Homo-oligomer: A and B are copies of this chain.
């Protein structure tokens, strides 16, 4: 079967779907090829006991995420606040603290260090241009060191360093050792600062989508109807200036333009004929995905709330370093969501499922008491095992990469345009960045098609 359309889109995550919809609205004939048998990419609803949806992938939206919020509104979806009442738990440098507000009680020296480090990090981040981070002052020096090196030089206490490591794991799902310091600073600036990224109310974890965040993708796909083809993993793209020929098994699509809306490391796995320039290929060799295993643990009731706890917890000594109350809209059943991130995902993935579950429940019991050991359901998702994600939350650049190959991230090559949250200039790595990138490539292509018309 060979079809001809104006624009073929590879990947039915938010980026690809937004691009397809924008282009369809300009009158272009669009076809989206999705490898999986579902849309949504890194957004996915799982099923709770009783049949309700729960996010096993990306889930939150927050203030400042204008593209995501506009999309939610436009699609007639609604949001509700993440449960954020009561005390939070923080365990750092051997000390457990239950606290309200933003600042864990960790002792004055540690707190001063954390405050000072965050101040420096936010200042560093603000100096990194979000569209062209390689133009930052001292870009080469920053890109030439790991985020760990930068933190070692900046944070002075064990608690300070531990705190920043847990933050790194929570926001990048990678260790500070893995990341370019320039990339980390850029990513933080793209989100408007560290507090915006780590906060619940007022930050990136503020709100959730009624029905589960994948509904955004499902609603977009519904609008696109037959223009979305599932179970069609693209493997080959032949291209010339005037168009592409894209193959997914027996399905062959010709188009004037293509949107590649998959993460960089997966874009690297497509076979392009002719091959892509060295700059682009070197870039995608150096943008690995973070690693996270997300677990939703379901209970009859939110027993932690009764004890005045918010369900939010962080620890530098437990593999399950970050936990939130993830009870869905409607309030039942009660859910805690926890994340095994970075090195903790490595260890977790090597366990057999029963052992992994036991360790997760150990950690939840450590935070919230023994009732956490008796869930009514346990849902987990290891995103590094997913063939068509190969990690979450998003990609990062290794040291030296942004300054050497950064411009290849968004620059179209012939008829091919690059989308995906990793190509965004705001909230890169988030749903918001995915939407931004979809709109951007749609504009690029609409303009290119118009020029030729």
Q: Which residues of B contact A343 (CB under 8 A)?
A: 404
Cβ of A353 under 8 Å from chain B: no
Residue from B235, B350, B391, B400 within 8 A of A285 (CB atoms)? B391
Which residues in B have their C-beta under 8 angstroms from that of A279?
Answer: 346, 349-350
Report whether B291 and A288 are in contact in the complex, using a CB–CB cutoff of 8 Å. no
For A143, the chain B residues whose CB sits under 8 A away are 177
List chain B residues, Cβ under 8 A from A205: none
Complex Cα–Cα for A140 and B149 (A): 12
Q: Check: A327 CB closer than 8 A to any chain B CB.
A: no
The CA of A38 and the CA of B8, in the complex, are separated in Å by 34
Q: How far, in Å, is A375 (CB) from chain B's closest CB?
A: 24
A144 surroundings in chain B (CB, below 8 A): 146, 148-149, 175-177
Copies in the complex: 2
Question: Could you list 19 further interchain pairs (A-B, Cβ under 8 angstroms) beyond the known A146-B146, A275-B386?
Answer: A140-B177, A144-B148, A144-B176, A146-B400, A174-B400, A265-B285, A268-B268, A269-B269, A275-B387, A277-B349, A278-B346, A278-B349, A278-B382, A278-B385, A279-B350, A282-B291, A343-B404, A398-B399, A399-B399
Closest 10 CB pairs of A and B: A278-B384, A144-B177, A398-B398, A285-B288, A177-B400, A178-B400, A275-B387, A144-B148, A269-B269, A286-B288
Within 8 A of B (CB), among A383-401: 384-387, 390-391, 398-401
Is A118 engaged at the interface, CB distance under 8 Å to the other chain? Answer: no
Knowing A146-B149, A398-B178 are in contact, say whether A291-B278 is a contact too (CB < 8 A): yes
Number of interface residues of A (CB under 8 A): 48
Q: Is A9 close to B, CB under 8 A? A: no
Q: Does A100 reach chain B (CB closer than 8 Å)?
A: no
Q: What are the residues of chain B within 8 A of A350 when measuring CB–CB?
A: 279
Which residues 361-414 of A have a CB within 8 angstroms of B?
382, 384-387, 390-391, 398-401, 403-405
